[in-house]
Structure 1
């Protein structure tokens, strides 16, 4: 099954692949904090509506073309996104590695902030070199324990 686009802006898109199943946030360029949060929020709302304990979904962050993540958006990811996503059953964010140094730094900061918040929730960040391998990782991570 191919990816279905459910939200699209010049800076990024939200896709779903029901065969995995997973939500994919795909970044095309830099997004300011408001736009970044809006796209992630849209994807999170979809994830919460479709992931269940009986059939958990995965999450892929395709950040190959992403730029920096503004500090306000980084803080929102750690304080708001991660707790809600883990409450909805997410255990791993599968990240396709950024091609730009700004994207690499941004995702490393996210992974570090997520790891530092382990007393609040448990969420892993795994890095992959392609969308296909990230989807495979998301499928594996979403398997019920």
Structure 2
């Protein structure tokens, strides 16, 4: 079954990838803090609904078109979004590396901050291609 867009915004989409299976956030461009947080929250809400029908269910971030993240958004991910994702069953986060240096740095900072946490155990991993990320997410379900 092909992937389907379940939420679409100018700066990114939320997709269901039944072949993995996983929910994915695919960024199209820079998103300001409000846009970034809203799409991540919408994606997590969709994940929660879909997980009632599809379990296990993975998580993938396609960061190829994403650029920088503000430090406040990194902190929000680490202290707000990640704990909620963990409580919903997310354990592994496959990430497709950004095409630009600012996005790559943001992903590396996120991965380092996330793995350093002791109050939840999420394992993010960065990949060069979407296929590699999908395979890893599938193996870790």
TM-score over 0.5 (shorter chain): yes
Instruction: Verify the 8 A CA contact 2:107 2:126 in the aligned structure 1.
Output: no
The residue aligned with 1:123 is: 122
Q: Which runs of 5+ in 1 are unaligned?
A: none
Instruction: Verify the 8 A CA contact 1:56 1:90 in the aligned structure 2.
Output: no
Deviation at 1:51, TM superposition (A): 2.2
Write the distance in 2 (CA, Å) between the matches of 1:43 and 1:92.
15
> RMSD value over aligned CA atoms?
1.3
Secondary structure (helix, strand or coil) at the match of 1:31 reads coil
The residue aligned with 1:132 is: 131
Identify which range, 98-107 or 17-26, moves more after superposition.
Answer: 17-26
TM-score normalised to the size of structure 1?
A: 0.91
How many residues of Structure 1 are paired with residues of Structure 2 in the alignment? 140
The residue aligned with 1:44 is: 44
Secondary structure (helix, strand or coil) at the match of 1:61 reads strand
Q: Which 4+ runs in 1 deviate beyond 4 A? A: none
Q: Which runs of 5+ in 2 are unaligned?
A: none
Cα distance per residue 1:10-56 (max 9 Å; x no partner) = 2111111123210110011110010000000000011122225x822
Secondary structure (helix, strand or coil) at the match of 2:69 reads coil
Instruction: Verify the 8 A CA contact 1:91 1:122 in the aligned structure 2.
Output: yes
